[in-house]
Amino acid sequence: MAISVSNNIIDYNEKGMSKSMKKLLLVLNCLMLGLGDCGGPQMQRLYFVKGGKRVWLSSCLETAGWPLLFIPIIISYLYRRNKGIPGTKLISIRPSLIIPCAIIGILTGADDYMYSYGVSRLPVSTSALIIATQLAFTAGFAFLLVKQKFTSFTINAVFLLCIGAVVLAFHTSSDRPANESNKQYFLGFFMTLGAAALYGFILPAIELMCKKAKQPINYSLLMEMQVVMSFFATVFCAIGMVVNHDFTAIPREAKEFELGITIYYLTLILNAVLWQLFFLGATGVIFCGSSLLSGIIIASLLPLTETLAVLFFHDKFQVEKAISLILSLWGFLSYFYGEFQSTKNKKEDSNLDLSQ
């Protein structure tokens, strides 16, 4: 599949990374992204279903696992030092990168809150389908920010995803949790849609930041950037926790959790770990590919997320959701078929040039 990559990343990868290593990194980040994208929403919903009520706490957990990234950063540093690579530093990020990372981190914190609010009000299967519209926003912002090229297949995919979301918007009242008002339910719907739009902007913004960086981007530096983004997102949500008195409510909430105190804290930990895998995986796919590819992979995991939600939480899966899901899958297939055709045409043109 053809993958668009920013110029800085292309230059660095060609000089400092073999093609096989780049492919290995892409596969590894796809696996992390897949595990986080499927597991994160399930654990987040488990928290709310079994008695958790703190939206700011839930949103904070999405990026609170950033200290875990110091482990691979240190391992990478020791490896590069042992290899005698010139200019090896434990921390190599420059101030010119810290500021845009901080801004993106704050936007991520806002996105985390909107998404957590939606998950607290909607079934996982419904919220996952709404989040699928993120691909449309990612495509649009990728076109504006990084000049992403589109084919008729890509445009068709975006159109189908939007139609799928419209179908879902007008035919999901049967999913409303018990004792929840229309206002709360639809506020959850539109907060989730807003989260999809905002993260659709964040992904191309990360690619643009890598493209405009004044220092070569390697994977170790990428992890440092992720630390900065996650730190500021966590601080943003932690301030909301302080204002909402979430820190003092945690012990009380743990005692009231339906699955017990131990499972409560384990749920919080797994939330942090799984979501950190998601964010690192998404950023890593941008490094190895593009923001649009990252958005495509997130959206393509929808069927698995849907299945897990139905199995674990017994979410309803009625005809309107089936229609929306089919439209979404159709859109994904359209995109990948378009990429396949594009790659095939490029190979044919290349072979024709060589024969001449």
Chain centre distance of CA 71? 21
The DSSP code for 87 is T
Q: Say if 18 falls within a structural domain.
A: no
User: Using CA of residue 47, residue 186, residue 279, residue 62, what is the dihedral sign?
Assistant: negative
| Residues of the chain scoring pLDDT < 70 | 1-18, 124-125, 162, 165-166, 168-181, 303, 315-318, 321, 343, 346-356
> Distance between CA atoms of 24 and 239, rounded to whole angstroms?
38
Task: Say if 30 falls within a structural domain.
Answer: no
Write the CA distances from 275 to 59, 168, 327, integer angstroms: 10, 25, 27
254 assigned to some structural domain: yes
Cα dihedral 17/19/20/25 (nearest 10):
60
Q: How many CA atoms lie within 13 A of 254 on its CB side?
A: 15
Q: Is residue 31 part of a domain?
A: no
Is 15 among the domain residues? no
pLDDT reported for residue 328: 73
Q: What pLDDT, on a 0 to 100 scale, did the predictor assign at position 130? A: 81
Inside any domain, residue 21? no
Structure tokens at 326: 């089919």
pTM of structure: 0.83
- How large is the greatest C-alpha to C-alpha distance in the chain, in angstroms? 76
CA–CA separation, 165 vs 185, rounded Å? 16
Query: What pLDDT is stored for residue 4 in this prediction?
Result: 39
Number of separate domains in the chain: 1
Q: Is residue 109 part of a domain?
A: yes
Residue 354 is predicted with a pLDDT of 58
- Domain of 109? 38-85+94-344
Q: Using DSSP, state whether 174 is helix, strand or coil.
A: helix
| Domain-located, residue 306 | yes
- The gap from C-alpha 185 to its chain's centroid, in whole angstroms, comes to 23
